[in-house]
Amino acid sequence: MARFTLPRDLYHGKGSLETLKTLKGERAMVCVGGGSMKRFGFLDRVVAYLEEAGMKVEVFEGIEPDPSVTTVMKGAEAMEKFQPDWIVAIGGGSPIDAAKAMWIKYEYPEITFEQMCVVFGIPELRKKARFCAIPSTSGTATEVTAFSVITDYEKGIKYPLADFEITPDVAIVDPDLAETMPKKLVAHTGMDAMTHAIEAYVSTANCDFTDPLAIFAIKMIQSDLVDSYNGDMTKRASMHNAQCLAGMAFSNALLGIVHSMAHKTGAIFEDLGAHIIHGAANAMYLPKVIEFNAKDETAKKRYGVIADYMGLGGKDDDEKVKNLIAYLRGMNDALNIPQCIKNYGADSYPCEQGFVPEDVFLERLPEIAKNAVADACTGSNPRQPSVEEMEKLLKCCYYDLPVNF
């Protein structure tokens, strides 16, 4: 038996933010990030609409990118004081993910972060509040997913929380919010979405309900992402939907080791002055992981289907896989994303020698590989890597080497 779960309601299209006026409740806690939503007037609109719905509103601001356990605990305390019956999270994946974790802690004040991390082990929510998510980036699709990614900065590790309990009740996918994204954010979040769709399609948990969502999302992202990056707002709106479809697929089909590797490399070099941004990490690792996974016959066939849908040509599955890899690398080039960690600058742009020196990378490699294999996303990858293989794969991602094992 398998389960397929999505939010009860999804409002989409330009101006759909206004639907907040129709939420029924007494008190809404609005969770938001560092300032973009305020600067562009969306936060004021959210508060006004909720007040029009007759609710008392309090705002929890300042949720940082890649939110920390500390922020989650602080937010839960604020909720405990205010006692909301609606949690409305607006912004990128970071504030929405943080709000999801705050929600768990608000409903179960005794729960520890370790207990929240037990995959599909979150106790029944909605005894105190329901959850509405409004994305302002086009990538994570956290507005429809059963996931939340929280960073433990003491360990330098990102932990994915996973349970259908944290799938939001209401998602509002309004493309107006995506229009203000700077180019770099469009690129990174867009390749995150492409990775979600491809990993979901080849995941061992794929099914008839997730495949159409994944494959259609791939096609849309192929057609829309680069143009959206170059300023086409019609394509930008289409990307906002595409990332959401990809999210519906991966929330139910799960992901694979591109995400395991991104989770374990994202914050581990933080002491050197930068993060490897989630979407950029995925974009660099995806072609390498496809090369690795394609040694599994079932996965190879599925990559072949993806290549066919994308119209990439190829006389057999081997050639189709090659064409798919070349196409994705071409997208990275078009989006100004480096192909490997060695060339990943502190500003995320390609450069000769990036911010992660070779010796530091090699020194931390065994730990990263061990953690990546243990990541919650590894279980549904079509090929199970040993720690040794994971080390080799990560080396290919550092030096941009072919994957021949």
State the residues that interact with ligand NAD by CB under 6 A: 33-34, 36, 65-66, 91-94, 97, 136-137, 139-140, 142, 145, 147-149, 158, 177-178, 180-181, 185, 189, 192, 278-279
192 is an interface residue for Zn ion by CB under 5 A: yes
| Residue 91 touches which member of ligand NAD, Zn ion, none, C-beta under 5-8 Å by kind | ligand NAD
Closest CB to ligand NAD among residues 145, 371: 145
CB of 156 to ligand NAD, least distance (A): 14
CB of 43 to ligand NAD, least distance (A): 11
Distance (Å, whole) CA 262 – CA 320: 25
Number of residues that bind Zn ion (CB under 5 A): 1
Place of tokens 């994705």: 328
143 is an interface residue for Zn ion by CB under 5 A: no
Closest CB to ligand NAD among residues 154, 352: 154
| Residue 224 touches which member of Zn ion, ligand NAD, none, C-beta under 5-8 Å by kind | none
Distance (Å, whole) CA 181 – CA 184: 8
CB of 403 to ligand NAD, least distance (A): 24
Nearest residue to the partner ligand NAD, using Cβ: 92
Q: Which stretch binds Zn ion (CB under 5 A): 18-26, 153-161, 187-195, 366-374?
A: 187-195
Residue 385: C-alpha distances to residues 256, 334, 347, 392 (Å) = 11, 31, 31, 10
- CB of 256 closer than 8 Å to CB of 286: no
Alpha-carbon Rg for the chain in angstroms:
20
φ/ψ region of 273 (left if φ > 0, alpha if ψ in -120 to 50, else beta) reads left
Closest CB to ligand NAD among residues 90, 356: 90
Q: Which two tokens stand for residue 2?
A: 């398998």
SS3 content of the chain, % helix, strand, coil (to 5): 55, 10, 35
Which residue stretches of 88-155 are H helix? Answer: 93-107, 113-116
Contacts of 35 (CB under 8 A, 6+ apart): none
375 is an interface residue for Zn ion by CB under 5 A: no
CB of 386 to ligand NAD, least distance (A): 25
Host H or E run for residue 29: strand 27-32
Q: Which stretch binds Zn ion (CB under 5 A): 163-171, 189-197, 342-350, 379-387?
A: 189-197
CB of 326 to Zn ion, least distance (A): 22
Binding positions for Zn ion, rule: CB under 5 A = 192
